[in-house]
Amino acid sequence: MARLAPDSNSELLKIRAERERLEHREKQLLRSVQSRGLNEIVRIAGLYQLDADRISAALSRRTERANPGIVVSSGRKVDPKFRDPADPAKTWSGRGKKPHWVQHLETAGRLDSARISQRASV
């Protein structure tokens, strides 16, 4: 590895010190801007009598609209709609990523054979 000339080394040290100083200043400014923004949000929330739950729900909806590929689960369980004929313990609700056994049945054109009838689940 080549050695740096003494002048280059001291210049490099100065640049690194300046970068660290600038990064520290950037963090300070960001905290200040965020603090002012948060104060403004609190002021507006008070003005419109909005509580944290209402604001949080609105932010969640905004995130869902901005990222339509991301599905936020409601946490509700749904009954399975398909059962693996080879292993009855394996089921699929028809939601989310298809298990391999469903993909194989679909490719073979036999997915309906795995459908759980409504009468059987009642």
In which element (H, E) is residue 105 found?
helix 100-107
Non-local (6+) Cβ contacts of 45 within 8 A are 51, 55
In which element (H, E) is residue 92 found?
strand 91-92
How many residues are given for the chain? 122
The 3-class secondary structure across 11-53, one letter per residue, is: HHHHHHHHHHHHHHHHHHHHHHHHHHHHHHHHHHHHHCCCCHH
pLDDT band of 122, cuts 50, 70, 90: very low
Mean pLDDT within 63-90: 78
Of 34-38, 53-57, 98-102, 108-112, the range with the lowest mean pLDDT is 53-57
In which element (H, E) is residue 83 found?
strand 82-83
Asked if pLDDT for residue 25 goes beyond 70, the answer is: yes
Hey, which residues does 91 pair with through a beta bridge? 83
Domain ranges of the chain: 6-66, 82-121
Hey, which residues does 19 pair with through a beta bridge? none
Average pLDDT, the chain: 86
* Residue type for position 118: Q
pTM over cut 0.85 = no
Burial class (CB in 10 A: 0-12, 13-18, 19+), 116: middle
